Amino acid sequence: MKFSFDYDATLSRVDVQIFAKNLVEKGHEVWIVTSRPDIYTGEMQGSQPDNSDLYEVAAIVGIKPEHIHFTCYELKADFIDGKGFTFHLDDDDIELRYIQDSGDSCIPISVVATNWREQCCKTI
């Protein structure tokens, strides 16, 4: 199965990292789909992260570099649509709503919900 995780305030959390690593160890395909830009330029270059934190977590969890997608502030639903993801875990209600409204079979799950892990497990 194929799963998608937001990074900031989602996969950046240790409890979510443990859950995602467990999925990878079971042979599932785990992706990071983040609103971040892949390269920070101009005024943002000096004040924004260089994504090293994201790449470090991806390596710890076992996410392949080719399974990291930066939407560069575009809607995640546009990338996720039609790619066969089972669920997308995120803290952003707007992103989750667009995924829900896209009509894609990907199930949007809020990491803010106390039962996010149970919701994810129900899809597996």
Helix (H) / strand (E) containing 124? none
Could you state, in order of their start, the residue ranges of all structural domains in the chain? 2-123
Residue-wise DSSP of 57-82: HHHHHT--GGGEEE-TTS-HHHHHTT
Is the distance from CB of 28 to CB of 2 less than 8 angstroms? yes
Choose among 116, 118, 122, 103: nearest CA to 11.
116
Q: How many Å apart are CA 23 and CA 2, to the nearest integer?
A: 9
* Mean pLDDT across the chain: 93
Mean pLDDT confidence for 69-78: 96
Fold of 2-123: Rossmann fold (3.40.50)
Let me know if 24 is exposed, middle or buried by CB neighbors in 10 A (0-12, 13-18, 19+).
middle
At 39 the pLDDT is 78
HSE-CB at 76 with a 13 A cutoff on CA atoms is 31
Over 80: is that where the pLDDT of 7 sits? yes
Q: How confident is the model at residue 99 (pLDDT cuts 50, 70, 90)?
A: very high
CA distances from 4 to 44, 81, 120 (A): 26, 12, 11
Q: How confident is the model at residue 38 (pLDDT cuts 50, 70, 90)?
A: confident
